[in-house]
Each structure stands twice: as structure tokens, then as C-alpha cells.
């Protein structure tokens, strides 16, 4: 499995002939995860995309989900990557790891009814289609509330 880590402070890897420089900006919107139902102004604010600052994000090529790359976004929510033309998924969580967590939970059998399955993490992702010459792209991740947390008052 080929995997590489690109850090926000300038990690580099050799560029293959079929890879192109791609600048990826990642923004986020989110659900309201507070207590009492908010007013419309708060809900509207949550729907305005904001840069996802200094977070680790996962990206995988949809043709080969085994190849997952992890990268750190800078304070503007951006990272520079070398990607081949194709379709990718940008995720908050490593989907292979989440699938393994699900498999482990299900293999425990009876008595796991009260445990919270991590499959909700699959929902926080966005599609990215890289053209033949790379370029600048923006994807938005919509953050949902963690259903495994107790509801807020």
C-alpha cells in the first residue's frame, strides 16, 4: 500500500509523470449540536462554509480505496498535493479504520446493543474530481453531531 504524509510545513514527495500539483481548500459547515433549538440566525451561520483550520484530513482515490493519504491543513484550511487525474473522497475519518471498528463491534455479537457504532463517521466526506492538469479545488465537509454523545441540555 502506498501512503504518504504531507505536513503543513512543506513536506514533499517526488512528482510522478501522471501527477499534477493540486491546491485543495477544505471548508466546513455543521449541524447544530447544542441544547435548546437555536434561532434562525444561528442555523444560517452554521451553513456558511468556513476554512477547516489545522485539521488532519484523509483522501483516497475512489478506484483504489486501499490507498489512503493523510494530510494536515494549514491555518487557511489548504494543502498542496500531487494527485493523478481522477475521483477522490476527502474525509474527516480514515474509512478503512472505521470499517475495521464496525467489523470488530459486530463480531462481539450479543451484548453490544448499547454500544454506539462508528458508522456515522462515513457521512463526513466530500467528493473531489481532479482534472488532467491539477488546479485549485475547494471541498466542503458537513460536520454532523456525534450520535454517541449525550444530548446537551
Domain residue spans of the chain: 18-143
Across 137-147, b (16+ Cβ under 10 Å) vs e yields: bebebbeeeee
pLDDT in tens, the chain (153 residues): 233 323 222 333 444 557 889 999 999 999 998 888 899 999 999 999 999 998 899 998 888 766 678 899 999 999 999 988 999 999 988 888 888 888 887 787 766 666 777 888 888 899 999 999 889 999 999 999 888 887 776
- Looking at 3.40.50.2000, 2.40.110.20, 2.60.40.10, 1.20.1630.10, the CATH number of the domain 18-143 comes to 2.60.40.10
Size (the chain), residues: 153
* Cα-trace Rg, the chain: 18
Amino acid at each position: 500500500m502506498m501512503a504518504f504524509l504531507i505536513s503543513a510545513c512543506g513536506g514533499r514527495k517526488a512528482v510522478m509523470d501522471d501527477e499534477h500539483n493540486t491546491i485543495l481548500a477544505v471548508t466546513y459547515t455543521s449541524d447544530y449540536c447544542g441544547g435548546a433549538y437555536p434561532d434562525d440566525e444561528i442555523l444560517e451561520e452554521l451553513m456558511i462554509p468556513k476554512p477547516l483550520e489545522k485539521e488532519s484530513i484523509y483522501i483516497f482515490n475512489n478506484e483504489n480505496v486501499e490507498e489512503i493519504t493523510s494530510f494536515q491543513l494549514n491555518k487557511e484550511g489548504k494543502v498542496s498535493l500531487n494527485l493523478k487525474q481522477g475521483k477522490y473522497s476527502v474525509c474527516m475519518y480514515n474509512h478503512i479504520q472505521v470499517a475495521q471498528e464496525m467489523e470488530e463491534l459486530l463480531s462481539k455479537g450479543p451484548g453490544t446493543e448499547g454500544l454506539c457504532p462508528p458508522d456515522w463517521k462515513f457521512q463526513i466526506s466530500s467528493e473531489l474530481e481532479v482534472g488532467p492538469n491539477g488546479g485549485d479545488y475547494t471541498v466542503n465537509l458537513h460536520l454532523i453531531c456525534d450520535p454517541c454523545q449525550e444530548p446537551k441540555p
